[in-house]
Structure 1
Amino acid sequence: MATRARAARLATPRLKENDAQQGKRQRTATGSAARPPLSAASPQNAPPPPPAEPAFEFAGRDDVDALLNEKMKGKNKMDYKGKSEQMTEYIKKLRACIKWLLEREDANLAEIGRLNGQLEATEKNHAEIVASLESQIEELTAIREELQKQYASLEENLKKVEAEKMDSLRSYKDEKEARTAVESARNELSDELNKVKLEQKRLNDQIKMLQDTNKRLQEYNTSLQQYNSNLQADATKNAETTAKLQKEKNTMVETMNGLKDHANSVKLQLDLAKSSQSEALRQKNDLLKEVNSLRAELQLVREDRDHKSAEIQSLLSDLGMYKELTGKSSTELENIMIRCGVLEESCSTQSERIRTLEIQLASANEKLKRSDMTTMETMAEYENQKRALEDLHFRLAEAEQKILDGENMRKKLHNTILELKGNIRVFCRVRPLLSNDSGAVSYPKSGEDIGRGVELMHNAQAYSFSFDRVFDHSASQEEVFTEISQLVQSALDGYKVCIFAYGQTGSGKTHTMMGNPEIHEQKGLIPRSLEQIFETSQCLVSQGWKYKMQASMLEIYNETIRDLLATNRTSIHEGGASKYNIKHDANGNTSVSDLTVVDVRSINEVSSLLKRAAQSRSVGKTQMNEESSRSHCVFTLRIFGANEGTDQQVQGVLNLIDLAGSERLNKSGATGDRLKETQAINKSLSCLADVIFSIAKKEEHIPFRNSKLTYLLQPCLGGDSKTLMFVNLSPESSSTGESICSLRFAARVNSCEIGVPRRQTQMRSLSQG
């Protein structure tokens, strides 16, 4: 019935359309019949038809409209002849137009007739199909009703048969139960006996196995205790050796300081002697110049004296001659005598001056000789002191090397003990003072806490803390990295290693982890660790090792993971939480879906990745820090190593994490986006504190899933990795409260036991080989 109604609805508009088309055809035919012939408009005595008219062509309605709108034009209003000729021509055009329209109308009527015929055939065919479908629907309806009746009858028969069958089954079951009651009881007893025997055998085997396990555990416990006692004895021995060496070092340092003071005094005396020698040399040179001058003057005086003596002799001889030969007057003789006396006096004066100069020359020569002897004695003393100082330097270097060897052994033993305990290692680093800072941090000067303790003064009260290592504000980047270099090396050996920096904003976390990679002295732990990894891997090539390394870097910003190595910056800042999902497998390995992982083969490739990541990381300005990190940054280096000679494979992971700084809203002055960032940072760090406290209390449930940061760090905090935390402090007195909170948290972290680290190594199978 529904099909019939639908067919009727479809046929109705088509019938209406056919009626409309038929009415249109009737009107067209009526109009054509009613139109009178053109010849009726002419009178009976019309002249014969004119000759054949010229053909006019019409392209469409525009030509017809142009013909109808054409106007008659004459020379003037009375030019009927001209107008008549134009009218004749116009009538010819109208006749041609009418003929063209009639032909077009006949063609349209023929097309309409053809289409109406097709429509009628289609409607007839449709009606036949509708009738066929209706008959089929009626037949199917009848068949369905018949099948429903048969189904109801079969259901009734089935119910009867099932009832009879159930009765038969019940009776058969009762008979079978009655028949097998005794057999089942007997079988049950037999089975129970067999079970008791098997259980007894299993329990005996289990008891034997437990006894063997207990024996092995006791032996292992005894070996561990022996190993622990040996370690403690070695540690005690090394501590005593270190103390002894330290004492010797202190003695040598004091001796060296005394020798340095003596050497300084000798050097000062040498400098004075050198200056005295220089002065003596200068005086010697002056004396030599003066002696040479005196000698020259003496020579001149002697020559003058000789000349005067010769002149006197000449005058005396002349006087004798005069006396003998001429006998001149006494006046001339007196003048000659006066001149002779003057010359003798001058000669006597010159002789006296020569004697004085000779005495001065002898004195100058004596001074010069004494000055040379003093200089030689001073130089000899200086050489003796220099040799003694070099000997002390050599002895001091030997002592320092012994102390360094002892310190390395102490570190190894300490690391071994920590690994056996499974504790998280904690290093403390104090940021250098700025020009406007006032320090509130001090360090122990004696005792066991030297290099391991830190003290803060807050509200006239002292707070002391002790960690595995404390670096004061003068520690260099190289000194800090030297302490963790062995831990970084463990990643190449197949361990999972995690190093993260914690502290308030502006305490130097990013400087510790990243530093300035462009300047060697300011490189942080991340670039230095990667340099060591690549250098060591190259050295191990000669031992048959080949390594493959993959790097990735992400940040957690407002509880959203961002890929810092993504090539498209839009994807970095628009990557939703649904895109990057954190996953942990059964072996404790962590992965993040859709995160960019880059194969790296050299330190240059890693350096370019670090630059790209630094440009993409979220930073902002607050009142506490000009360039504050607003996200947690995680750098991961996966290391896959294989030794072709031993068929050994290792898989290590190095996680280096720069956490965002905690800050107080009243001090940071954060508003808007900065306020949201601060709240997200403090929340994630609070979740980290909750996880640490739960681990320290050894609670069954650890809330790792409370934040993406703790969930990402789950294998590092609750697994089998080697974990080290840097707690960074700001030395200024205004940050003492936050520093004490950071140190308390670090102390709690230091007491957490996360299990003994496990090396990920295996032997390569034959199929892989």
Structure 2
Amino acid sequence: MVGAATNGGRIPRQVFSVVNGSQDPVVGPASSIGSDCGAIEFTREDVEALLNEKIRTKNKFSLKEKCDSMMEYIKRLRMCIRWFQELEGDLLLDQHNLGKMLESAERKCKDMEMLMTEKEEELNSIIMELRKNYTVLQEKFAKAESDKLTAMETLSKEKDARLSAERSQSSILEELERAQREGSSANQKILSLNDMYKRLQEYNTSLQQYNSKLQSELNQTNEILKNVEKEKVSMLENLGNLKGQCSSLQDQLTATKASSDETMKLKEALSSEVGRLRLDLQQVRDDRDRQLLQVQDLSAEVLKYKEWTGKSAAELGNLTTKSIELEAMCSSQHDQIRKLQEKLTTAENKLEMSDVSAFEIRTGYEEQKRVNSDLQLRLAETELKLVEGEALRKKLHNTILELKGNIRVFCRVRPLLSDDVADTETKSVYFPTTTETLGRGIELLQHGQKHSFTFDKVFVPESSQEEVFVEVSQLVQSALDGYKVCIFAYGQTGSGKTHTMMGTPGNYDEKGLIPRSLEQIFESKQMLQNQGWKYEMQVSMLEIYNETIRDLLSTNRSGPPECGSKQHTIKHDANGNTHVSDLTIVDVRSSREVSYLLSRAAQSRSVGKTQMNEQSSRSHFVFTLRIIGVNESMDQQVQGVLNLIDLAGSERLSKSGSTGDRLKETQAINKSLSSLSDVIFALAKKEEHVPFRNSKLTYLLQPCLGGDSKTLMVVNVSPAPSSINESLCSLRFAARVNACEIGTPRRQTSARQLDARFSYG
């Protein structure tokens, strides 16, 4: 941009330099550019003086002196014109950069508008989901109120019946001597009515508690909905402001485009004028060359005149006439240069106005960019709050389950295998997608009747081993914190229990819960060493085969499975720890050592072939990791136990086709699983006597089922329609397990004892 300066009357120039994607104006004197102009600076006064300058010579009749003066004057005019040409090139470059800036600003505004529209739709969907939850809670609350009113009416009727019974009791007491038998029957009726009244009072109390719980949940949901509505209103206001700013910026961009078009038209006009000026300049140069030739001729003639002083005055008059013509020609060229200067001044003013408008647009764009960045930060914070809220919900859910003492239950449905291809004409397993049961519900269709179940987590057939372990990892971590942890897999033969617990050997992605748990524990052990913790770990592995305990790590095993070299017994101490006599316990320091022991135990485990599974586990496998952690700086010791159990599969003799030893194994497996079912039923009914001693399996699991352990059961289900009966039995049993309440998990801590050793627990 070129314009008149207020300081000293100089003509400044503004150049936009693009460095790292930013456009900043750099103002410098005009003399800093132009390689041919040297260090000469042209000011407005200099240009006007140059245009108004008249050629004067000492000798009016000296043509040589006039020619020299004119050559000097033409040289300065050429330098001035070249300076203006270079300035015009810089202005064209600035205009091109400004156009690119406008295009990028327009693209960013469109992208931001699309992003805000997507975020608005996402928030609207969240609000609709919260409103649906609010409606469901209101319906539950109304149902609870109706149940409460019904119970109150029943209670009032029972009170009236009690009053009538008391009146009949008084009449019976008066006639007691005459009707002793009738009095005894009336007393029994009164006692039954009193018991019924007490039960009704307890039922009324439970209804009131449930009503208050529903009311608190409804209040919390209302508060959450109000907060979400407030956030939506604020976001809508911000979106409205942003849309207004975007529209104003769009108008500014449109005006800028119009002014840019006008500038381009003006540029074309100036370019045509510059072309004409160049033609005029070329004519001036041609005239100058002709004048130079004439000057040379005149010089030669002057020499001749000097040599021949006797030439006539007529020739001198001709020379005087030519000199006058040259002066007239110079004055006309001076007028042409003045007109060009006026046109250049007009172009400078227009470019200055365009530069000011471009600066205003850039300022508005930067302001819009700051607003957009603030909105992005707020959106990121909102998304982070949603993620943190979901994590907090899961944590609170786990805490509530631990406080209630429930045994947590996960359900995993294995994929269809090649043997199941002919059995997939009708689908029998479904996964509901409602908000309350998403990821937690499973439905079985049997003979047109639907059976629905809800567990702590349900894994679909496409779920990977990694996804299953992510849900279990926090429970595994509790073993390092000093808790007793028990995870066991349950299900029919061929439902995928061993795959869930052990995985596929040699395949990293298909590793099961046991190897992944060991990797996590040893990695956490390395990290906790920086906090001063030192850990000692011991491993034992056993199986229960035909109601006989077999040590899978023993090196002195011989004979058939049912004739072990040692007889192992189970004992429980007062602290809830379990001891298995003569059991091999191995100190381990890395997950690689444990993997070697696992492969060694897998080779020793009892397996066999049935009609339901090519390689079926014929025993219950129990893996135990004992952990002793010591922190000398805190003077504290923790003792944790991790039990990972792969139960043998339940099966029907009619489907398995077992005979001989396989028949005996199947009967022993079904008996132990039946004993486990009896224990679960007794725990669910809160009976005083729980038959833990009916089998070796239930007696071994007594601390996990009835003690202070964190227990998780993974029920495995086959999706094949031919296995629908066994799958339904497994899910019903898992539902009863999930309803059982056991003792609250307790952390095992004590004063530091370096020589402490753990028994099975």
TM-score, with structure 1 as normaliser: 0.49
Larger Rg: 1
Using structure 2 for the length normalisation, give the TM-score. 0.49
Return the structure number with greater helix share: 1
